[in-house]
Amino acid sequence: MRKLNVFFDVDYTLIMWDGKLRNHVEYVFQRLTEGGHTIYIWSGVGIRRWDMRRHNLEGYVTDYFVKPLWGYKDRLGEYNVNVMPDFVIDDHKGVVDDFGGYHIPDVADKDDRHLLNVLEAIEALAAQPPAED
């Protein structure tokens, strides 16, 4: 199994418009951590450590970065992102197009299961041999 660097966006990905967490965040963070994957949090509006602490998720997160708002992959160095994302979860499609990952809807109903799909997709990717590039 590959160990992946998993990058989560915050607004409308993990924390919704009402300030509440999307369904299944802690379960998915726990499963990823147990699977040996590394969780990073990034956001276009700054370092979101406090938000993760407020929701008791800080223990799962290895590091925090500011996310470039455009030219994502080309500008990682400029933003001091010293880890290459293997899988990103974001409500902005452009980020997912650049790195690969899961384009998550920016709204969630009460039965939202998207993060469970995310977990499944990450586990499937981790089970594959590394891509040649």
Query: Interface residues with Mg ion (CB under 5 A)?
Result: 9, 11-13, 91
State which residue, 12 or 99, has the beta carbon closest to Mg ion.
12
**For strand 61-66 and strand 38-43, is the pairing parallel, antiparallel, or unpaired?**
parallel
List all residues 6 or more positions away from 22 whose beta carbon is below 8 Å from its beta carbon: 13, 14, 15, 16, 108, 112, 114, 115
Closer Cβ to Mg ion, 91 or 123, answer by number: 91
Which single residue is written with the structure tokens 């590959």? Answer: 2
Q: What's the closest the beta carbon of residue 92 comes to Mg ion, in angstroms?
A: 6
Nearer to Mg ion, 76 or 96 (CB): 96
Question: What is the nearest approach in angstroms of Mg ion to the Cβ of residue 63?
Answer: 18
Query: Is 89 within 8 Å of 101 (Cβ atoms)?
Result: yes
| Shortest reach from residue 13's CB to Mg ion, in Å | 5
